[in-house]
Amino acid sequence: MPGRTRYVPQNIRWFNRILRATYGLWLHAFFRVEGKNVNLAKAIKPPFVIVSNHVSVLDPFILGSFLREPVYWITSDGNMRSRLMRALLTLVGSIPKSKSIPDIETVNWTVEVIRRRQGVVGIFPEGQQTWDGTTLPLVPSTAKLLKLLKVPVLAAVIKGGYSSLPRWTGARRRGAIEVEFKLAFSRQELGALGTREIGSMLAAALAHDESAWEEDARVPFEALRRAERIELALFMCPRCEAVGELRSSGSRLNCLACGMALKLDAFGRIKVRKGEAPIFSTIRDWDRWQTIAFERLVRRSAAARPDRPIFSDPGALILRGRKMNPLRRLRTGTLILYPDRIELATILGERLRFPLAVIEGISVLKRSTLEFYVGKDLFQTRFALGSSSSRKWMAAVEILSPRPEIRAIGSNKAADPHPSADAACLNPEEGKG
């Protein structure tokens, strides 16, 4: 049987022009996109790298609409597993990258685009979209890659993009988006600076706090479903500390455990019922509290009951595959987190076990799809309930994992070489179910 054709990034120039003239113009009109220092973005000559904070799925299209040259964006290989998305992303020259897993092929493709094709590569150094509108810690290897490439680096800071389409929802809001361009590094500066200095300067160049920006800008972002699926990001109640009990509807968010009722206004502020004092007024502040409180809760639960589940979610479908190849259905059931493992309990009484010691590259694809690697095998979990937060699972595994590169929440350190695929205690033939 012939092998699969090896993927090679190809950026079709005519398709990019059509995209800018159609979808790009629509984005500018609908979201009221404005650029700052646009002349700098149009004047810079390839080869160069463009870096940006990552606030929504629209970022590559908004940024590409300002540039004359087509951009080869480094993107998660999870976006390229369906034939349709792979075809579309191939037309815009996407360079696939396995999230949180070192990928030498990604580096090789990037070097080829810059050095042989004299093209433009786009990188989101955070490695994922922000959940609360604040720039995340950057992937440390980005500084090394920029040092290796030694070409000018154009930085773009997107303001208002998170408020227009937060990661946790599909409900668009119409307000305003500002994109500010600046030259982060010249070729000469990259040659003279060390990787640590490059990393620090890059973080400063891309720093953005949407809540602080909105406090000054006071731009209303109108939508009928402003709070829809916000529980995918904010999964812990600040009043009773229940996990997974929050439910959204329209612009409102309620806790099923304690009855707390909140409303998200057009300025991204959290409001409570009349006469009550707000616990947090912004998503950012709630998220910062949640990071600390959830870690404390998970560690306390694991220490007190080492053989008991910490939490679970029903209606979980697990699929298995490798990199950009299509995934195969494995099993459905209830996903359960224990202090040392994840289990899937099926309705037939089977138990599929994934020890935390062998899980690596755990991430959330888009809004609510959980992914992780065991050896070279990718396991993807899709939840039937729209309120099930994959971010909660990722955070818990990062807290409990015995692997030092995963243990700290938000860690972007490189993972160790893949362990044996047998470590998950799964039968290789189980993909037939």
Q: What is the pLDDT of residue 126?
A: 95
In DSSP notation, 10-49 reads: -B-HHHHHHHIIIIIHHHHHHHTEEEESHHHHHHPPSSEE
**Pair 161, 130: CB distance under 8 Å:** no
**Pair 32, 172: CB distance under 8 Å:** no
User: Which amino acid, 298?
Assistant: V
User: Which amino acid, 339?
Assistant: P
Tokens of 428: 């290789």
Q: How many Å apart are CA 69 and CA 44, to the nearest integer?
A: 10
Tokens of 177: 């988006």
Chain position carrying tokens 């998503």: 283
Chain position carrying tokens 């959204």: 248
Tokens of 58: 């629209």
Q: What is the pLDDT of residue 428?
A: 27
**Pair 402, 109: CB distance under 8 Å:** no
Residues of the chain with pLDDT under 50: 1-3, 408-433
Coil, strand or helix at 300: helix
Tokens of 125: 């150094």
Element (H, E) at 404: helix 404-407
**pLDDT tens, 68-99?**
999 999 987 766 666 666 667 777 778 888 76
Q: How many Å apart are CA 399 and CA 406, to the nearest integer?
A: 8
Q: Which domains does the chain have, with CATH numbers?
A: 13-217 (3.40.1130.10), 230-303 (no CATH), 306-432 (2.30.29.30)
Q: What is the pLDDT of residue 369?
A: 95
Q: What is the pLDDT of residue 82?
A: 65
3-state helix, strand, coil in the chain (%, to 5): 35, 25, 40
Nearest partner of 396 among 302, 257, 284, 283, judged by Cα: 302
In DSSP notation, 53-80 reads: ---STTHHHHHHTT-SS-EEEEEEGGGG
Q: What is the pLDDT of residue 410?
A: 44
**Pair 75, 94: CB distance under 8 Å:** yes
User: Degrees (nearest 5) of the Cα angle 206, 46, 22?
Assistant: 75
- Helix-helix angle 210-217:283-304, to 10 degrees: 150
Chain position carrying tokens 């972002």: 221
E strands, 146-186, in order: 153-159, 177-185
The neighbour count for residue 195, using CB atoms within 10 Å, is 17
User: Which amino acid, 5?
Assistant: T
Tokens of 203: 């973080």
Q: What is the pLDDT of residue 84?
A: 66
Tokens of 291: 């990071």
Q: Is the pTM of this model over 0.75?
A: yes
**Pair 30, 22: CB distance under 8 Å:** no
ω into 47 cis (within 30 of 0)? yes
**Pair 210, 223: CB distance under 8 Å:** no
Is 414 exposed, middle or buried, given 0-12, 13-18 or 19+ CB atoms closer than 10 A? exposed
- The alpha-helical segments, DSSP class H, found in 184-241 are 187-192, 195-206, 210-217
Sign of CA dihedral 175, 73, 386, 257: negative
Q: How many Å apart are CA 423 and CA 401, to the nearest integer?
A: 15
- The alpha-helical segments, DSSP class H, found in 172-263 are 187-192, 195-206, 210-217
